[in-house]
Structure 1
Amino acid sequence: MTRPGYPRGVSNETKLTAGDAELTLRPDQGCRIASLKVGGTELLRQGDKFGAFLMVPWCGRTENGVFRNGGVTHQLPVDAPPHAIHGTGRHTAWREAAPTTGTTAAYYFDLAEPWPYPGRVTHTVELAPQSVKLTLSVEAAADGDSFPAQAGWHPWWLRNLGQGGQDVELAFSAAWQEERGDNHLPNGNRIDPVPGPWDDCFGMPDGVDVTLTWPAEMKVRVNSAAEWAVVYTEQPEAVCVEPQSGPPNGLNTLPRLVTPIDPLEISTVWSWERIG
């Protein structure tokens, strides 16, 4: 069924199943992962702003909503004053890019205002009984200009699974932590990682590898060949481990140029096992 107010052909919900894993996508809500259950146990915080949403064509905060492409300056909507946050894809209805099977789905949307450059973003989901592989690609239009871009995921993992067990524990090794300035953005200094709570970006040059453990219940590993992850643990309900293609404000500080012949592609694999 198509939700009123969204383009024809955009479904409210897509469910994938593999073994005892069930994943729900909401293409009408930015193609976010609304639910991930293993053996009936929900792993993601529920609600329209939660689950696991996509960050594209930028990740985290862009300083004052301003970025430059060569000599051209662009202003993005300031939706986390004084910054622009998490891209436009999460506010967009996505369309089916390939036929959905019981375990796979692919959706896309075309970049448009307020993003100033034409292009296409595709999200591919491949569910297996003990893992899911997610891939985001950002393409420039064949006859369009090149532009800087970022892509990543913002999953809200439940701090507690609600079954009488302990809160989640995070384990990872980072080469550095991006020091945060007063404006909540990396200030250019790399420091040794410090204890949480965090709303911080970490550098992992060998690839993102973070383990979430709910003792005696569940273990989830978040892996990606990407070198950056933001870890957020400042809310009581959930924790976030966000693999992304660059740091916050990376459109300005570490631009990755997308050209008509060189798209941006990033993948992450989330794998799980029951323990105890």
Structure 2
Amino acid sequence: MNQLKNLYSTFKSVPEKYLIVFVFAVIYCLVSLVNHYLFRTYALDLGLYSNALYDYSHFQWNDSTTFKPEPQNLMGDHFDFYLLLISPFVWIFGSYTLLVFQIASVLFGGLGVYRYFKSNRVLAMLAMLFFYSFFGVFLALSYDFHDSVVIAMLVPWLFVFTKERKMKWAAFFVVLLWLGKESSGLWIAFICFGLALLNWKERKWRFFLIFSGFASLVYFVILMKFVMPALSPTGVYPHFDYSSLGKTMPEAITHLFMHPVDSFHLMVSNFFRRYDGR
């Protein structure tokens, strides 16, 4: 009985946000790690990236032959720089490494949500609970590793440090977000431009966020135009799947500006029938 009382007093002294983190950490592990133990996780991307982690942890480039007919650098397919940073942990967590980091990133993102609303304790707790219990989180954790999840979980902290007016930390998280994936530069550019509008009255922050947005666009263009084609055996970016707008990205951008109505119509119409004659 005394042990139960001591356990209760221990939990009572812990801030509620950490209790929430603990509960959802257990739930996420029961979903993600148990499925992996029972061979219910996917080979693409989890298996592919785990193979890349193994290669990186042994100081060698991954050749992507687990899913490509000819050897090629994995970063020519997706520029996931985080894999290089995470790779040493393979020696600790083995094939569970990416799943562990995916769970940790979600928990870290939830703490950012709590901190953003911390001025109102009840609202902060509710926002954190909603964030952790959102069905998309469980779907992402249930069967695979998604690099986009790790990137997305950093965004709440960019909002936090912008709200708290900590520019150095905000800049640090902008750079961290760049390293997640080749498309993250474009995404972060629009986030920074949106934050610039929200903070327009403060000249210093308006300039910082606009500069960060354009820097993100430059980073995105450099990766897509020069770095990734150089790493690909075909010499082109392999995931441009918008042929209805044009054969290349510049053609697609030109089409968006020259034919805005037609471009919008593509989002709500059956473009396969329209362009293939079916």
Q: TM-score, normalised by structure 2?
A: 0.26
Which has a greater percent of helix? 2
Greater gyration radius: 2
Task: Select the structure that is richer in strand.
Answer: 1
